[in-house]
Structure 1
Amino acid sequence: MATRELHDCDNASALLAYVGARRTAAARAEADQLAAAVAWAGMHSTDSYDEAATLVPGVEESLTIAGPGAPLVAEFSVLEFAAALGLSSDAGRMYLGEAVELAHRLPQLYARVQSLDLPVWKARRIAKTTLDLPMAGAAYVDAHLAAVAHKVSIAQLDRTVEEARVRFDPDEALARQNAAQEGRHFDIETRQVSFDGCVDVHGTLDLADALDLEDAVARRAHDLSALGLDAPLDVRRSIAVGDLARRQLSLDLAAAEPEDRPKARQVLLHVHLSEAALAGASTDLDLARVEETRSFVSAEQVKTWCANPDTQVIVKPVIDLADHVHVDAYEVPDRLRERQVLLAAHVRVPVVPETSPAGGLRPHRPRRPRWTDL
């Protein structure tokens, strides 16, 4: 059926079909514009024999717009393309560079854009973060994100790019880590107080310090609720920070028993060794994965945390995920449950209610657990 114009949509179904068709057309137009940028860069590449790629002697230079391995382009061609898009010279250069980055260094992601399986904006977001990666790092990102880039979060995209940087450009990753450590801060805007008497607090902390602070604030907020404070969670958390500052957590006012409260930092490490590590091969920068935050840090950072005299280090047996463990009991042992969680990386819980014969809802009766539900 031919696509109707908006004024011809006389019912809800026709209007939804119109919207869907326009969205597809818009996605196609964006993908075609990206392909045009790639063709323009190829036409003006310094490696091209096209007459348009000829540089003006003494006036024009070749320009790097994408990562290592991508072609260089004539300087003036960037300005012409930016003008055609109605963008500034800097914005046009960024657009052209991200298009070239996708076509030449992230070909699988570029193919998904052209098949309309991946939005242009998300592909450009990935390309922007891979511009300074070596060729092997860009290939790593392309291989790991091509099939899932359309549905994963921006945070996961950034984690994948960062892991590629650590693996294939460890010197740069270490330099960024040191710069981040130097950039830690904690600011309380006491000079910007209005009539409401509230101030903003913001900062950047080491991961271990942030987890400790989160644990202390969460526990104190829970205690305040147990002690009868009828306030929203966010309000209780803000009060908890003040209690920490006044050291009221040391008083015996908590709802929980003192022995139930952790007295020191606890470090729980899940160590996963790669085949290269098992074979004795060394890497430039060893990684330790923090599963609770879905992130990774350097092994040196873990050593720093464990060297803290207030840290309680918990040592657990290494779980071989390739091994087959059998039990002869109905109950699932903790070691097997943890093993299945590590393998599946998620927990499935039945939440769909069942309908009774009378037409009402009745509580869902738990079925016998299966290994995939652990």
Structure 2
Amino acid sequence: MIEQLAVQARGVADDLSASELLASIKASRDLEHAEAARQLGLAAAWADLHPPESIHDAASFTVPGCEHEEPIAGEGTPLVAEFCVAELGTVLGISPTAAKKLIGHALELRHRLPRLWAQVHAGRVPAWRARAVAETTIHSTPSLTAEAAGFVDSQVAAVAGRIGPAQLDRLVAETIKRYDLATADPTADPEDGWQHVDPRHVTVDTDDVHYAGTLHLEADLDIADALDLDRAVAHHAAVRKALGSTESLDVRRAKALGDLARTQTALDLLTGGPGTDRASGPHPETRRQDRADSTDDRPDLPAAREVVIHAHFDASVVGEQTVFGSTGRMENGQRLVLLDQVRSWCADSRTTVTIKPVIDLNAQLTAQGYEIPDRIREQIILRDRTCVFPWCTRPARGCDIDHITAYDHHAEAEGRPQPGSTITDNLACLCRFHHRLKTHSAWNYRMTAPGVFEWTSPHGHRYRRDRSGTTALDPPAPPGIQRPRRR
């Protein structure tokens, strides 16, 4: 369908003049904004159809680094049943988190930012601008009252939503100060005013691995800590250069940060131990002399690097030697990784290396009872790679192992055959949310082939999930209409 539309668009564009082409593009964009506004309205209507049975069943966001959860919209908005989010997300082909945001933004705009909501549906403000405002007012710290959110609404609506992120942050800060929201927090320092919020954090994005084998790190530190860290990184980078490293300053600073995380490796760099870059380390004679005093001779010291990396490479046996392929797959981030990279990681000083035996993903493994042995668990994790719910990307190692057909704990005592045996073909990886969804709602699924799953939603929508991703199958036929048979 998409390819047909693309071909039709190219055919139409060939027949248009420059002026007509511009007008057509504008009309297309206007239609896009109108549909985005309509989608917000439909998301709010979907939420209205699904109130939670109790506050404990309401959809919410888990706050990283904290033990509490945040509601999907601000004070005064209706609560939404958490499981209804999954069906909306799968129909749209988005994650449950993205579906929560869509519903939360719709409710925030309709109930707490009504002026902006009206402008969106009048076509004066694009939905994406209004959603950016809603995202800010929902997750403001401290939380905005309905009255405070109304003040933000009046200010933003006055400029038809044309407000940048920095201006919006200043507006929210002024609103917090105007309505004395910071001092209402018993943990806040009254002399700090609205600035009591502590922004310090260190975040390593382990889900987004660059093809070069790097991860993104972001941090907000205390000024003194940040300056100390900057000086330490600069010093270690300078030491590397003095020892003969020809790498760029950015690379040396990045390696210096790793040295700080592995103080033993940094010591080896200075003493010419195993962690020293052979191309940039001290003179070979000096290195050999220092190696005699290397910390590798101290078995009582803990390993400097204990990071667990699950990398998978194809291997073949040539004669009596095992030959690995040059590229493999790394579970951390689901990216390709070079064999040379893994070798360099393992070559660092006092790195603990664990080699696990090869697991045949096609073998049928069975266990007695309900508990899943480690060998079967590992096989299912390697087979599925992620949670097998449609469009979910949660890594399998953080998931539960689910019995697709439920295990009957009373079958043996009552002399009945076990319907949900602990066997490879009856197990799959599900993240905790989708495990609960499958257990406590009308969602169901089955395995049609090893690692291939077919899901059916409470409203009859079907999805196929395999290693390549998710495919939406034929939607349910409208009531009273019989779907024609395929030949």
**TM category, shorter:** 0.3 to 0.5
Q: TM-score, normalised by structure 2?
A: 0.35
Structure with a larger share of its residues in strand:
2
Q: TM-score, normalised by structure 1?
A: 0.45
